[in-house]
Amino acid sequence: MAAPRRDTRGIVDAAELFSRVAFRRFEPAEPLRPYLEHYWLIDWDLPEPYASHVVPHPSVNVVFQQYGDQAPWGEVAGIGLELFTQKLQGRGRVCGIQFRPGGFRPFAPGRPVADWTGRRVPAADVLPGADPVSIVTPGDAHERVAALDAFLLGLGPHPDPQADLAMTLVDRIRTDRTIRRVADFARTEGVSVRVLQRLFAAYVGVGPKWVVLRYRIHEALERAETERAVDWAGLAAELGYADQAHLVRDFTATVGVPPTAYVQHRAP
């Protein structure tokens, strides 16, 4: 498995976020790497409130957090269908686990992952043994990572060939820009569209079309973050949109502003 990715895909105005909080990604223990993208840790001590915004990945996250003097708590965060906004103020920290799309079901095999989509539920209701205090309170980040490893290794993921297949298919969508139509993708994989949809509902939490569209927006947002002169018409064609207007529509609906306005806002 590769080391934790360094891109900012999904983070709206990543430079602003990184200037206000300490954000780090860590690799999990080797037996967990087939199922996890990475751990992500955030610490902050802010003189004034700040709102962070994220275009969610097609991933389940388990999040342990503490705000100020509140007692730590944990949540299972299913795939978010809308722009996620979190207000941060005062002092706090978050220890998150981002699963690979399709990688959560082996830790909670009793229900389809679609049951968690758009929901945030107490971690202990889904994953036994979740102890937010032992995970969030250590001062050293590596101690928190070790606590996350111990928690997940204690659960013992259940090997599941269907989960492996789901992870492989989503990774193919993420890396292959020629995959644009679900019917064509299903045909290439030798299955029906209905079989593909059922697999994604059970193991990913959203349908394959949603995954294709979300990765398009992540790519467009990443370009807007890293390039000052984006060729939006060329990018629309590269991502499989019929024209630039369709890309602008999807970007605006997801991020909240048109892509050109987003780039102008970030310009120094």
Domain ranges of the chain: 14-155, 161-266
Contact 63, 105 (CB under 8 A): no
Residue given tokens 């499989």 in the structure block: 240
d(CA 261, CA 258): 5
| DSSP secondary structure of the chain | -PPPP---TTBTTHHHHHHHSEEEEE---GGGTTTEEEEEEEEEEEEEEEEEEE---S--EEEEEEETTSPPEEEEEPPPSS-EEEEEEEEEEEEEEEEPTT-SGGGSTTS-GGGGTT-EEEHHHHSTT--HHHHHS-SSHHHHHHHHHHHHHHH-----HHHHHHHHHHHHHHH-TT---HHHHHHHHTS-HHHHHHHHHHHTSS-HHHHHHHHHHHHHHHHHHH-SS--HHHHHHHTT-SSHHHHHHHHHHHHSS-HHHHHHHH--
pLDDT given at position 266: 66
What value, to the nearest 5°, has the Cα angle with vertex 68 and ends 9 and 82? 30
Contact 102, 166 (CB under 8 A): yes
pLDDT given at position 268: 55
Strands 84-99 and 36-54: antiparallel
d(CA 1, CA 192): 30
Quickly name the fold that domain 14-155 has.
Immunoglobulin-like (2.60.40)
Reference 220, options 236, 208, 204, 241; nearest CA is 236
Q: What is the pLDDT along the chain (268 residues), one digit of tens a residue?
A: 445 677 888 999 998 999 999 999 999 999 999 999 999 999 999 999 999 999 999 999 999 999 998 999 999 999 999 999 999 999 999 999 999 999 999 999 999 999 999 999 999 999 998 899 999 999 899 999 999 999 999 998 988 999 999 999 999 999 998 898 999 999 999 999 999 999 999 999 999 999 999 999 999 999 988 887 889 999 999 998 989 999 999 999 999 999 988 888 765 5
Contact 122, 131 (CB under 8 A): no
Instruction: Give the chain's largest Cα–Cα span.
Output: 56
pLDDT given at position 70: 93
Q: Which CATH number fits domain 161-266: 3.30.559.10, 3.40.50.300, 1.10.10.60, 1.10.287.110?
A: 1.10.10.60
Contact 66, 96 (CB under 8 A): no
pLDDT given at position 82: 93
pLDDT given at position 1: 42
Contact 75, 44 (CB under 8 A): no
